Amino acid sequence: MTCVKFCGLSRSEDIAAVNILNPDYAGFVFWEKSRRYVAPETAKMLSDDLNPDIVPVGVFLDSDLNRIIDIANTGCIRTVQLHGSESERFVRETRDATGMPVIRAFRIATRNDLEKAISTEADLMMLDGGIGEGRAFDWTLLEDVKRPYILAGGLNPDNVKEAIERLHPFGVDVSSGIETDGIKDQDKMKRFMEAVDSARHPYGGA
């Protein structure tokens, strides 16, 4: 069954909506150049209010390993997502140092990008079109991928059902696709989950 990750959460209102909708993962962005950046102390406060069944994920981009360790040690995340140009060695070091699963994100434009992603030692790969800009990429590149992956980039309530039915990804990741004017939109979040559920249970079954 396809998992769901809501990313870029930054407000208590976001957490309240997430706790009702119950996605599998909730992402906090620790890249300071992102408009969705949250300080570690804010992430801790938000994570403490999160439904314990939802896995909080820390999103980092070319961060110093010590910073990742420090944030992991606060207890605000349970999985690390690397979204920059990190090496496979860095993936291993991050897993060893934090004791947490590592998701490694890749920007996919060509088959060479995809081949690099498939060979990662990360626990899970994320296939994206950019760095949180909501940029889609050519899904035909993924039609023969056997390794489980999280699909990201350009997903929204109107196209996620098609993506799941066509590609059968392990998970889907959304941020800008559930926003209005840069703020998480509870109606869009709800419609996104409804579309995912429709793809999971096309005939209304459990």
> At a CB cut-off of 8 Å and minimum separation 6, what does 113 contact?
106, 107
**Residue 84, number of CB atoms within 10 A of its CB:** 14
Interior angle at CA 5, CA 171 and CA 32, nearest 5: 130
Strand partners, 107: 128
Q: Which of 7, 14, 76, 173 is catalytic?
A: 7
d(C-alpha 18, C-alpha 55), whole Å: 11
Q: Which of 62, 128, 144, 181 is catalytic?
A: 128
Active-site residue, 128 included: yes
SS3 63: coil
With the CA atoms of 118, 120, 121 and 123 taken in that order, what torsion angle do they form, in degrees rounded to the nearest 10? -60
Instruction: Enumerate the active-site residues.
Output: 7, 128
